[in-house]
Structure 1
Amino acid sequence: MSPGPAHSSKRTRIVILVAVVVAALVTGLALLPDTFSADADAGASVTRVTAGGDVGKDLPVTEPKISCADLLQKDFGALDDAATSVASASVVAKSGANAYEYCDVKGTVAPQIQYELRLPTQTYRQRYLQEGCGGYCGMVGVSAQPAASTGCVPVTDGSFALGQDNQGHVSTSGMGGGSAEVWATNPQLKVDFGYRSEHAFATAAKAITKAFYGAEPTYSYYDGCSDGGRETLMEVQRYPGDFSAALVGAPAFNQTALNAMQEAYLSTIDFRADGSTILPASKLGMLHKAVMAKCADPKLNNDLIQDPATCTFDPASLKCAEDKDSSSCLPAEQVDVVRKAYAGVTAPDGTHLYTGGQPYGSEAAWEGLFIPKAGQGQSSVQLYGIGLGFLRWVGKWEAEPALKLDASLFTVDTFKAYQREVSGIYDATDPDLTKFHEAGGKLIQWHGLTDPNIPPTGTRVYRQAMIDTMGQDEVDDFYRLYLFPGVNHCGGGDGPDSFDLLSKLIDWRETGKTPGAVIASKTSGGSEPGGPAGGQLGGDTKSTNDTKASASASSAAATVEYTRPVYPYPQLVAYDGSGDKKDAANYRAYTPDKLPDDHYKWAGSFTSGYQEWCETENGKSMSCGRHKP
């Protein structure tokens, strides 16, 4: 079914709805220890302090007006586009696993958006935090350690009400593309996953919070990474009044291009026509070592690349003499695979179909993502499942289950066809956040610079598009970007990946304190919070919250190896020349003499006006158009 011209002012799509089934909820809890934060302004010296200071306004503790069980008697069925039922409401006592007592509320927002809402019974201070969900979601697991918030006191002391939903469907095989055929044939579930679920649940969560405490939250925040980052941007772009401020990590916001083109393409580059592997995973360590030797920044005094965009590594420097393969070199065929990985997906005419390729320094994380583990084939790599799931199911209104994933798909025409089909409901690429800014909103975005799942180039390009659209001064008034050297997707990697940006966001929104340096810590001995599986958009992995829950059990014994300050982009840092090189206090900020040009030429663009809004008619059909119903 053709959706019509890409730029028509209005178009209508009629699709017969199919029945859906509500499944059981999955919940999780993770508690992680405090880490460091910093309140140094950009350009000033950095002082290491603990995260235990005051954060935000001194809001009073608000006690419930009704009992937890009384919520079962409340009627939330008349909420606008968010008819809600409460299935259970029970008190969870403070214990070794729970830092504070809370009322645990579970239920459904119609038609089948499952949710969990944790309402503190003795410590609530008028704040609500909604947590994003990674991959294709399909599960609920509120975390006591949201993304990029290690040691954030309003989270750890129970000041926040916390909530999360499953984006309207239940996953049957982790977060990858393998379960897409179960839910992505239903148009309403596509829309709920695309843009509706987070707004509908926010409406429901505020109504339930008001019923419990007698008033809606004074401040509402959103925190998400990966697809959770896409959800964050979707909220501030489409529903600018839902949240007071938002924290967006490594967003899959350019989802159509990411899933249909970039991820699908990467899953093909390491395989010959007969299915055999070209570049074995055993070569990745050698490749990574060569990249670091060329591009690691001596100003950091460790093996990290501070800005991969300035790296000039050429994989041909590792080419085997006379093309004779060995463990210490790359034959021409393997050099070609590495070049393709760094370049990202391109059409036959050389047009980029996504904003960038694999960042230099990410090589060690390619194994299992698009380079298979020893003895495994193409179907085992994570990006194969997510790419094929999107191409067949998620990215089409009428599924194409027999579609083959091969090189013929990666053309400008195919890319544009998928954009016309679904970008209006999935993509969160609108650079005009004027309404969010006018509403008083604050936005902090962050990305790991060695993220192999969602390359950080797109985040920089989006920031530039915002500046081009709104102007530098306006963007600076409400937006900051932090880029973390050596950090992979939503955490993990060689770099320091424990930090607290949520406290920075709270202070900025509630007190006007402009965020400066944040202190990032590298730990060892125990699981790192938000590790490489956390929230990634691909593969059959556990949820971000499950990852953090397992991490919490061992992270208490973790040792801080070193700390580094990270300043808002485009500032970098350098060692002062004296003092402990492992201490963030001995590093200073500087702005490069030549700032990078973050414009990027590709087949798409970041503009306004592409969004579609869909509504169900008579319970049988769905109409989608450019104008909000």
Structure 2
Amino acid sequence: MFPRTPEEASMKITGTRFCAGAALLALISAGAAEAQSKNLDRAQHCAALEGASVPADAIGLPTGGTVVKSAMLVQGLPTPGLAGEFCRVIAAVQPSPTDAATGTPPIQFNLNLPSDWNGKAVHMGGGGYNGMAASGTLWVSHARGTPPLAKGYATFASDSGHTGLSTSADFASNDAALLNFAHEHIKKTHDAAFALIQQHYGKAPSRSYFAGASTGGREGLTAVQRYPQDYDGVYVNAPAIYFWGMRLIGLKLGQQAYGAPGNFVSPEQFQAINAAATDACDGDDGAPDGIISDVAACKAKQAQIVESLTCKGDGDNAVCLTPEQFRTVEALSEDFTLPYDMAYGVNSYPGYDVMQGVPIRGNLGMGSSPTLADPVNSLENGYLFAQGVGYLSYFVTRGAPFDPMTFDVANPGTYKDRLVELSAVIGAMNPDVEAFRAAGGKLLFTQGAADEAVSVGGSIRYYDQLVAHYGQQATDDFLRFYVIPGFAHGLGNFIPTWEAVDVLDAWVEKGEAPDRLEASDANPATAGRTRPLCRYPAIPVMKAGGDVNSAESFDCVTR
């Protein structure tokens, strides 16, 4: 019935507005209650994992099963500007009764279960000697893109079976802890995490990926070689393939540097070497950007670089080098070769391209002191030397006394068998990846050309071995390899930001094999400049008149 008077009309309208407002408030209240209920449900569902367990027979290697220590719903990611809700799980794979009796530590791992799950999982690798589980909430190591967790991936990472500094090798005195670090933690963590994912979501991941760099890169290649059925795709950067080689070339470097007075090369001298190489070779790729892309062309100029740095007599500057100091540089830049074979017939580790732009900085070079410390340590005597000594102390001699300055790796006596054994246990040198390839697995492989911790030559050698074994076309079907100019061990003159997991996932899911890729620079001074990532052996070469800050100005050229 229509209102009869203006007053009645006003009352009718007012009453209608009141009723509509009340209904809206009721709806809002109901919606808020429903949202609160859902949040509570998700929080309770997450918390229900606390105290959950995974039986030992659900894990593919001997363990004492897995127990969840805590589970809590978390709002937001640690990366600024990224939202997201996830269930944060902290768990531990217990040692088997036999291993527990020897004092073997558990494998601690973090597992992140997003509320908006995309049905897939990313196993994230560690670094150094591990010793602390990565959070799994940040970007993939050495590939600064969006964290996989923010894209809906369940993520997990472990401490590899011991706690402590990532530079300390003392855990290796325990045989089972050593095996966990070498490769067993990969399988144990994967199986435990997958069982918990199944418990939480009611189903297993539809796709399984591994992503890591350095030690995490070695873990990725180890997964390809030892556990090929567990991963649909693997991304690795700077993998420590020849783990033994990295340690023993460090020992060789230290013995040369501290073997006689005047052999030590200071951080300032290493900086001078890098500056001389950059001055001589920066323009070989057409781009005046402080990045050496054409390493082969730079090697052809090595004699003139050495000449420019050689001390010549009175009036020499403080950063020139003597013949004895150049021999120390050569201990690092030349291949380290043994008179006997390690695993898979390998007897050498490629040297570092010190004269072609690899920046040896701080304790990654010879440290700060020309005097040998007791004990040898990274700060004073350099990371590579200190790690070589630690490797011999805990992995090889197992506490037996030895002199790091006189230990002869070429003639190690009773330790030879141990050295060879370890090269197979910890290394990722096996060129047989047939099971991974046959299962349809995809391997995305990058390496910084300026890496000062893991020699780029090792990655190139392993790639070349696979090509020699499978042929180029068959290798391209499952592997894509990129050498990135200017990129060091996570830092460098060019720090690439790109979506490595997206590239890998598109290859696995859609068959979109990567070719030329693009990355932007994360360095504050040059942030936002872009470069192509060229498939090896191609390098980026700038077109005449191009914009040095734009990837579009570069072609990928094989010289």
TM-score range for the pair, normalised by the shorter chain length: 0.7 to 0.9
Cα deviation 1:509-555 (Å, max 9, x = unaligned): 11100102222222343xxxxxxxxxxxxxxxxxxxxxxxxxxxxxx
1:571 maps to 2:559: no
Distance 1:519 1:394 in 2: 41
Cα deviation 1:457-487 (Å, max 9, x = unaligned): 0101001111222222221100011111111
Per the alignment, do residues 360 and 510 of structure 1 end up closer, same or farther by CA in structure 2, a change over 3 Å counting?
Answer: farther
Q: Which residue of 1 aligns with 2:24?
A: none
Per the alignment, do residues 332 and 478 of structure 1 end up closer, same or farther by CA in structure 2, a change over 3 Å counting?
Answer: same
Per the alignment, do residues 352 and 168 of structure 1 end up closer, same or farther by CA in structure 2, a change over 3 Å counting?
Answer: closer
Distance 2:149 2:155 in 1: 11
Letter in 2 for 1:283: Q
Distance 1:134 1:493 in 2: 18
* Higher helix content, 1 or 2: 2
Q: Which residue of 1 aligns with 2:275?
A: 289
| Structure 2 residue corresponding to 1:157, chosen from 128, 150, 168 | 150
Cα deviation 1:330-383 (Å, max 9, x = unaligned): 22222222222211434599x973223344344532431132226775532212
TM superposition shift of 1:428 = 1.2
Distance 2:196 2:44 in 1: 11
Are 1:152 and 1:502, in contact at CA under 8 Å, matched by a contact in 2?
Answer: no
Distance 2:512 2:42 in 1: 31
Distance 2:314 2:439 in 1: 61
- State the percentage of identical aligned residues: 27
Q: Which residue of 2 aligns with 1:199?
A: 187
Distance 1:324 1:75 in 2: 72
SS in 1 for 2:286: helix
Q: Which residue of 1 aligns with 2:430?
A: 430
Letter in 1 for 2:241: F
Q: Which residue of 1 aligns with 2:348?
A: 353
| Structure 1 residue corresponding to 2:264, chosen from 259, 278, 285 | 278
Are 2:123 and 2:155, in contact at CA under 8 Å, matched by a contact in 1?
Answer: yes
Distance 1:512 1:193 in 2: 33
Q: Which residue of 1 aligns with 2:135?
A: 142
Distance 2:410 2:318 in 1: 35
| Structure 1 residue corresponding to 2:235, chosen from 241, 247, 271 | 247
1:220 maps to 2:212: no
Q: Which residue of 2 aligns with 1:326?
A: 317
Distance 2:528 2:73 in 1: 39
Distance 2:155 2:77 in 1: 18
| Structure 1 residue corresponding to 2:160, chosen from 148, 155, 167 | 167
TM superposition shift of 1:404 = 1.6
Q: Which residue of 2 aligns with 1:449?
A: 449
Distance 2:173 2:107 in 1: 16
Distance 1:206 1:433 in 2: 23
Q: Which residue of 1 aligns with 2:327?
A: 336
SS in 1 for 2:429: coil
Are 1:496 and 1:564, in contact at CA under 8 Å, matched by a contact in 2?
Answer: no
Distance 1:218 1:248 in 2: 21
Q: Which residue of 2 aligns with 1:410?
A: 409
Q: Which residue of 2 aligns with 1:509?
A: 508
Are 1:500 and 1:518, in contact at CA under 8 Å, matched by a contact in 2?
Answer: no
Are 2:496 and 2:520, in contact at CA under 8 Å, matched by a contact in 1?
Answer: yes
Per the alignment, do residues 210 and 348 of structure 1 end up closer, same or farther by CA in structure 2, a change over 3 Å counting?
Answer: closer
Letter in 2 for 1:159: G
Q: Which residue of 2 aligns with 1:84?
A: 66
Q: Which residue of 2 aligns with 1:541?
A: none
Distance 1:324 1:271 in 2: 26
| Structure 2 residue corresponding to 1:302, chosen from 265, 271, 289 | 289
Distance 1:588 1:264 in 2: 40
Per the alignment, do residues 454 and 114 of structure 1 end up closer, same or farther by CA in structure 2, a change over 3 Å counting?
Answer: same
Are 2:366 and 2:383, in contact at CA under 8 Å, matched by a contact in 1?
Answer: no
Per the alignment, do residues 561 and 286 of structure 1 end up closer, same or farther by CA in structure 2, a change over 3 Å counting?
Answer: farther
TM superposition shift of 1:441 = 0.5
Q: Which residue of 2 aligns with 1:94?
A: 76
TM superposition shift of 1:586 = 1.6
Q: Which residue of 1 aligns with 2:360?
A: 365
- For structure 1, which segment, 417-426 or 207-216, has the greater mean C-alpha deviation from structure 2 after superposition? 417-426
Are 2:532 and 2:551, in contact at CA under 8 Å, matched by a contact in 1?
Answer: yes
Q: Which residue of 1 aligns with 2:94?
A: 110
Distance 1:588 1:268 in 2: 43
Q: Which residue of 1 aligns with 2:7?
A: none
Per the alignment, do residues 374 and 403 of structure 1 end up closer, same or farther by CA in structure 2, a change over 3 Å counting?
Answer: closer
Unaligned runs of 5+ in 2: 1-40, 96-105, 341-345
TM superposition shift of 1:566 = 1.4
Distance 1:344 1:516 in 2: 31
1:392 maps to 2:393: yes
Q: Point out which structure has higher relative CO (alpha carbons under 8 A, 6+ apart).
A: 1
Are 2:91 and 2:110, in contact at CA under 8 Å, matched by a contact in 1?
Answer: yes
Distance 1:317 1:347 in 2: 32
Distance 2:427 2:358 in 1: 28
Per the alignment, do residues 420 and 371 of structure 1 end up closer, same or farther by CA in structure 2, a change over 3 Å counting?
Answer: closer
TM superposition shift of 1:277 = 5.8
Distance 1:250 1:328 in 2: 30
- The alignment covers a number of residue pairs equal to 485
SS in 2 for 1:67: helix
Distance 1:187 1:502 in 2: 34
Distance 1:435 1:323 in 2: 63
Distance 1:370 1:101 in 2: 43
Distance 2:371 2:517 in 1: 41
SS in 2 for 1:105: strand
TM-score w.r.t. structure 2 length? 0.81
Are 2:516 and 2:534, in contact at CA under 8 Å, matched by a contact in 1?
Answer: yes
Q: Which residue of 2 aligns with 1:529?
A: none
Letter in 1 for 2:558: T
TM superposition shift of 1:317 = 4.3
Letter in 1 for 2:423: S
Distance 2:290 2:78 in 1: 38
Are 1:117 and 1:164, in contact at CA under 8 Å, matched by a contact in 2?
Answer: yes
Q: Which residue of 1 aligns with 2:33?
A: none
Letter in 2 for 1:364: P
Are 2:107 and 2:158, in contact at CA under 8 Å, matched by a contact in 1?
Answer: yes
Are 1:256 and 1:395, in contact at CA under 8 Å, matched by a contact in 2?
Answer: no
Q: Which residue of 2 aligns with 1:54?
A: none
Are 1:131 and 1:224, in contact at CA under 8 Å, matched by a contact in 2?
Answer: yes
TM superposition shift of 1:408 = 4.3
| Structure 2 residue corresponding to 1:580, chosen from 511, 523, 547 | 547
Distance 2:265 2:347 in 1: 23
Distance 1:67 1:402 in 2: 54
Distance 2:364 2:371 in 1: 12
TM-score w.r.t. structure 1 length? 0.72
Distance 1:382 1:161 in 2: 34
Q: Which residue of 2 aligns with 1:463?
A: 463
Per the alignment, do residues 325 and 279 of structure 1 end up closer, same or farther by CA in structure 2, a change over 3 Å counting?
Answer: farther
Distance 2:87 2:206 in 1: 19
| Structure 2 residue corresponding to 1:236, chosen from 224, 234, 244 | 224
TM superposition shift of 1:170 = 0.9
Letter in 2 for 1:92: V
- For structure 1, which segment, 72-81 or 425-434, has the greater mean C-alpha deviation from structure 2 after superposition? 72-81
SS in 2 for 1:119: strand
Are 1:359 and 1:451, in contact at CA under 8 Å, matched by a contact in 2?
Answer: no
Cα deviation 1:479-499 (Å, max 9, x = unaligned): 01111111111x211124333
Distance 1:264 1:281 in 2: 18
Distance 1:323 1:484 in 2: 41
Letter in 1 for 2:69: A
TM superposition shift of 1:66 = 7.8
CA RMSD of aligned residues (A): 2.7
Distance 2:309 2:237 in 1: 34
Distance 1:327 1:583 in 2: 38
TM superposition shift of 1:407 = 4.8
Unaligned runs of 5+ in 1: 1-62, 526-557, 593-629
Are 2:197 and 2:205, in contact at CA under 8 Å, matched by a contact in 1?
Answer: yes
